[in-house]
Amino acid sequence: MRKIVLLDGNSIMFRAYYATAYTGNLMKTSNGLYTNAVYGFVNMMNSILSIDGLTHIFVAFDKGKKTFRHQAYADYKGGRKPMPEEFAMQIPYIKKYIDILGIKRLELDEFEADDIIGTMSKKAKDCFDEVMIISGDKDLLQLVGDNVKVCLTKKGISDLEEYNKDNFASLMGFSASQMTDYKALIGDSSDNLPGLSGVGPKTAVKLLESYQTIENIISHVDELKGKLQETVKNEAEIAKRTKMLATIATNAPIEYSFDDLEYAGPNLNELHSFFEELEFQSFLKKMNFKQVEKKEKQENIVNYHFNELEETIKVLECSNEVALEVELDGDNYHRANILGIAIASENNGYYLKAEYLKDDKLKKALTLSKNILTIDSKKTYVSLKYQNIEISQFAFDLILGAYVVNPSYGNMDVKSIFEKFIETNIVFHEEIYGKKATYDVPNEEVYAKYAIDKCQLLLATHKIIEEKIKTNDQTKLYYEVELPLAPILGDIEMQGFKVNRNRLNEIGTYLQDEIKKAEESIFALAGHEFNVSSPKQLGVVLFEEMKVGKPKKTKTGYSTSAEVLEELAKVHPIANLVLDYRKYAKLYSTYVVGLLDETSEEDPKVHTIFKQALTLTGRLSSTEPNIQNIPVRTVEGRIIRTAFVPSNEDGWLVSADYSQIELRILATLSKCSNMLDAFNNNVDLHASTASKVFNKNIDEVTKEERRMAKAVNFGIVYGISDWGLAEQLHIMPYEAAAFIKKYFEIYPEIKNYLDECVSKTKELGYTITVYNRRRYMPEINSSNAALRKFSERASMNAPIQGTAADVMKIAMINVYNKMKEAKLASKIVAQVHDELIVDVVKEELETVKVIVKETMENTVQIGVKLACDVEYGETWDLK
């Protein structure tokens, strides 16, 4: 049996994007490339390729240009919103994926994907036992025939609604040959095709049952009654035009033969590289790696030794270098138990159960060793320090080394990091322990060998990475910034940031009251109670019952996103109430409940985990909990900060916050004289900018003018566009364009610098900070405009934000060391954005303030005066 599947590429990729975009939390690679549409498309194709009996397959796309239909009707498809940039940048990858699968695809001038499918369907029905068309577009239903069926996507590809010659009439109420007549009667809003005024689906079906075609309806118009007769007479030409435009062409020039469309499977090498590039770890795991040719295999014959204490100690004391891995029974090393440790040197691997860590000789050997290589030095440091074993320095950290070489490597599974440099047969961590829901510790021999294997690979890999670091001139960044920072972050995490649990409960009561007030007001406007947290129920209330604004559909119902609600707020008060409800509910669940769960009466401190190798820019992020995301600009967000307190009742929290550090770095990197003068003379930069833009004395600048100048100053760092600035300032785009033009006239060096950033990145393929931190931009030379523009904006910001991150990391190291040298009891407890927070003992307040301010302001010399605002208070809410 021969079966061909014809795919509407546009329809499927749109479904793949919007099925995963409605939450607003889009998948991205560590390089910042959006991938949710590609990921969804791959999942859909996996389902399609498993269709029983499939022998041939073909994908059709729209070319994105005007077709013969536009010539016949200028408003064809008019009113469609432009494709989101986050989606547009993914289309080349979707097409590349189809090519890797070995599937032919086609797009043609003058013709749409429907026409290509229609032409192919007409040819295929005489050559195949079955022709299966998959799309989300009902226009294709007109192609249903004897051996041609159309499957409409409902939920992904797993839920298809099949239309065939046997069920079509029962599903639609008319035959497939009448589909275009049906469209002529009711129109098609998706293509901006008008139907007959006042004619809906029920009336259309009745008319087709009586008259079969639109032409017959028009010729029998006198038999119709009332307003319908008048409508048909007045709009007959519109209906005929709509039918013509809705009719799929079957004469598209297709040169492929059916032999070309036989499915033979993907190119496994290219598919593996593709999944690696887009960081699709779940798909990589499913591949048969034995079929993929990769780098030359690193052959290591490992001699496994289990629980040989004396031999292990001897290796630690005598080896030039040893690899060390601490194996835990969980991901959070502040809570997990140590299963054991693995040590490797040359071809020997040693594993010791956790109970051996009580041995004094082993403790001493670990503590004194200066040649330890490890995979994650912070995890190793913290885990062993909880056992009273403190390794003061590490010779190498795999994750940090890979991160410095390429920041996209830092967030990978250990197996994937190794495979960036050598071939390995080691398995993914999840294959040993399972995923979160199915997490389970296997028998000891399994995880003991796994730990030793990781150590052996570390020995084989570290010199390759170190050589790359040296070649890239990143030795100082790695050995003087990232490596020494890791144990410092470990100490900060272990110290913890105290939370006043009673205060949290008070905040919880306040937020619950606000949630209830908002809910009651919503119910009063809606006229009844419902689950406000349910987007589905909320959508029905807003758009069906209250008919507020114009609804926007998603695959699960009406969109009630923040963006939609903000628009609705302009026309109805219920939208603002829903936004308030969500704001309070999120603060309550994320911070009140979340922080109470992370703390206890016995230990009221949060021990957040700082992610040192996650962001592409070099900045730190945190998790469990994510203290970086605690709002600071809203009143409610600042209330959450009042729950963070010093660990001593009479102590203080000191906050040291770099002032406008990114703008200062922009000034020095661009050598902008006007901006450097403002900073070095302590002049208000935003007021100074406003005075120059508006051509007035700085003392005459209004708050609004300063606010506008501030938006431009900070926006320029992120490559803000005319439209972006206009939206932010609520002005017209041409006004924003004039503002930016004037700005670059005042600061011409900045314009030159940003242009140079783009051109240099296009030449090198990466950006670089003052301290040689790289960020690779593979799409900056892309032929796809959306991908290219995204990378161009990122290339302007990365050197600035990355240098700011480097400065903060160096400052942290220096502040920590100076406080340690001074033997202070006060401790750093957090680093958030440009802010360092210190838990201060009362008697040390003035000393800490001086150390922190002087160190942070003078930690580096980059050609501009750094300023640090130091404040203190009884809680973290210091403003």
The three-state secondary structure class of 497 is strand
Cα gap 59→93, rounded to integer Å = 15
Q: What is the DSSP letter of 423?
A: B
Cβ–Cβ < 8 Å for 496, 605: yes
Output the CA angle 397-403-409, nearest 5 degrees.
115
- Decide if 533 contacts 609 (C-beta within 8 A): no
Q: For residues 3 and 58, is the Cβ–Cβ distance under 8 A?
A: no
DSSP-assigned states of every residue in 388-430:
T------SEEHHHHHHHH-GGGTTS-HHHHHHTTSB--PPPHH
Confidence (pLDDT) at 295 = 44
Q: Residue 259 in contact with residue 58, Cβ under 8 Å? A: no
Q: Is 243 exposed, middle or buried (0-12, 13-18, 19+ CB in 10 A)?
A: buried
Tokens 């793949």 correspond to what residue? 16
As a whole number of angstroms, the distance between CA 787 and CA 780 comes to 7
Strand runs labelled E in 602-650: 605-606, 609-611, 621-623
End-to-end CA distance of the chain: 74
Q: Give pLDDT, residue 232.
A: 82
Neighbours of 420 (CB within 10 A): 17
User: Percent helix, strand, coil in the chain (nearest 5)?
Assistant: 55, 15, 35
Q: Are 95 and 105 in contact (CB under 8 A)?
A: yes
- Determine contact, residues 371/389, Cβ cutoff 8 Å: no
DSSP 843: G
H or E element at residue 382: helix 377-385
pLDDT, residue 22, reads 63
Beta carbons of 127 and 258 less than 8 angstroms apart:
yes
- Whether the Cβ atoms of residue 321 and residue 345 lie closer than 8 Å to each other: yes
CA dist 383 and 362 (Å) reads 15
Helix 785-821 crosses helix 483-495 at what angle (to 10 degrees)?
A: 70
Pairing of strands 835-840, 652-658: antiparallel
Task: Identify each DSSP E strand in 659-777 by its residue range.
Answer: 766-768, 774-776
- Give dist(CA 17, CA 10) in Å, integer: 11
Distance CA 357, CA 362 (A): 7
Q: 614-630: string of b/e by CB count within 10 Å (b at 16+)? A: bbbbbbbbbebbebbeb
Judge if the upstream peptide bond of residue 625 is cis by omega within 30 degrees of 0. Answer: yes
Strands 766-768 and 774-776: antiparallel
Q: What is the pLDDT of residue 290?
A: 37
Candidates 447, 135, 367, 128; CA nearest to 261 is 128
CA–CA gap between residue 664 and residue 708 (Å, rounded) = 19
Token pair belonging to 160: 């298809």
Domains of the chain: 3-167+249-261 (3.40.50.1010), 295-471 (3.30.420.10), 500-598 (1.20.1060.10), 673-768+779-799 (1.10.150.20)
pLDDT along the chain (879 residues), means of 10: 90 86 72 86 89 91 78 70 82 93 90 92 89 92 92 73 90 90 85 84 88 89 86 86 87 86 85 88 67 44 88 93 96 95 93 97 94 97 97 95 94 90 85 77 90 95 96 97 98 98 96 96 95 93 90 77 88 94 93 95 96 94 90 83 96 96 95 93 92 91 91 84 82 87 93 94 94 92 78 92 97 98 98 96 98 96 92 90
Q: How many helices (H) and strands (E) does the chain have?
A: 37, 24
What are the structure tokens assigned to 179, written together? 């589909």
